[in-house]
Structure 1
Amino acid sequence: MSYIRGYDPDTLREKVDARQCRERLDEIGEQRSLPALLERVWLLKVLDRSEDALVISEQSVRVARMAGTRKDLLRARILHATVLQARGAYAAAEQELTMCAEEAEGQGWAGIAAFALQHRGKVAYEAGDFDAARRDFKRALFLRQESGVPDDQLESTLLAIDAADRRRAAASVAS
């Protein structure tokens, strides 16, 4: 079940049904499996509970390191970086996402690389670097097309490219 109802065209953040997210968070409770931890992180993040999300995301990275696969660890690190982004720690988020994207591309994991690049683009976007954001979104689009992702994931990337283009145009007019 997807809790995402769309994306804000200005912030690129997920639009969610907060009630459904809170209910799901209650259902998961204190489960310690990696999938449950990752889901809790995401739910806490979209509910603007970034302090709680940070604690659980750090725990999920440790669990993935000890008991998960390399792909699991990359996913946990990417999610952790998105929490850093939500907290305004753009440099740390960008650094982590860059390392994750490079490792995923090196392994030939196009879907994970695209996920990391999409989020690195969002970090650049929030930091006001719309050229870098657009480059990351375009690369993510290519990788997502290459890996055959569902249309909704392509749509979110296309929305992000459009938003970066709008912001770039507005910035050039203002200067």
Structure 2
Amino acid sequence: MSYIKGYDPDTLREQVDPRACKERLDEIGEQRSLPALLERVWLLKVLGRLEDALVLSEQSVRVARMAGTRKDLLRARILHASVQAFRGAFAAAEQELTMCADEAEGQGWSAIAAFAYQHRGKARYDAEEFDDARRDFKRALFLRQETGAPDDQLESTLLAIDAADRRRAQVVAS
């Protein structure tokens, strides 16, 4: 089940049903499997419980490092960096996402690289680096098209490109 109902066209944040997210969080409880940890991190993030999300994201990276695959570790690191970006730690998030994107592309894992570029673009967008954000979103779009990503992923990336263009034009006009 997707908890994402859409994306805010100005902030690019996921629009979710908070009640459904809280119910899912309760349902998962204290499960310690990596998929459960990652889902809990995301739910906490979109619910605005950023301190809890940060602590749990750090734990998910440790679990992935010890018991997951390299792909699992990249996904956990990307999610951790996205929490950092939500908290305003843009430089740390950008650095981590750059390393993740580079590693994923080096391994030929285009879908994971696209995920990293999309989140790095969001971090740059939040930091008001609209040209860099747009470049990241374009790279994510290319990789997603190349891998045959689902329409909702393509649409979210196209929305992000449009938002970066709009914000860039506003900055130039002011």
Normalising by the residue count of structure 1, what TM-score does the alignment of the two structures yield? 0.99
Partner of 2:41: 41
The corresponding residue for 1:146 is: 146
Counterparts of 1:155 and 1:111 in 2: how far apart (Å)?
15
Where does residue 90 of structure 1 map in the other structure?
90
**1:87 partner amino acid:** R
Give the CA RMSD over aligned residues: 0.3
Secondary structure in structure 1 of the residue aligned to 2:37: helix
Aligned equivalent of 2:5: 5
Q: Distance in 1 between matches of 2:87 and 2:42?
A: 13
Question: Matched residue of 1:82: which SS?
Answer: helix
The alpha carbon displacement at 1:19 in A equals: 0.1
The CA distance in 1 between the partners of 2:169 and 2:64, in whole Å, is 41
Q: What aligned pairs does 1:14-163 form with structure 2 within 5 A after superposition?
A: 14-163=14-163
Shift of 1:112: 0.2
Match of 1:164 in 2: 164
Instruction: Say which SS state the counterpart of residue 122 (structure 2) adopts.
Output: helix
Aligned-pair CA distance for 1:71: 0.2
What secondary structure is seen at the aligned counterpart in 2 of 1:30? coil
Q: What is the number of residues matched between the two proteins?
A: 174
Per-residue CA shift, 1:1-39, capped at 9, x if unaligned?
000000000000000000000000000000000000000
| Secondary structure in structure 1 of the residue aligned to 2:157 | helix
Deviation (angstroms), 1:56:
0.5
After TM superposition, give the deviation of residue 148 of structure 1 in Å. 0.6
**Matches of 2:95 and 2:152, distance apart in 1:** 27
Distance of 1:168 and 1:108 partners within structure 2 = 32
Q: Give distance in 1, aligned partners of 2:121 and 2:42.
A: 18
- Could you tell me which runs of 5 or more consecutive residues in structure 1 were left unpaired when the two chains were aligned: none
Runs of 4+ residues over 3 Å off in structure 1? none
CA distance in 1, matches of 2:18, 2:78: 23
Q: Percent identity?
A: 83
In structure 1, C-alpha distance between the alignment counterparts of 2:15 and 2:159, rounded to whole Å:
13
Structure 1 residue identity aligned to 2:105: E
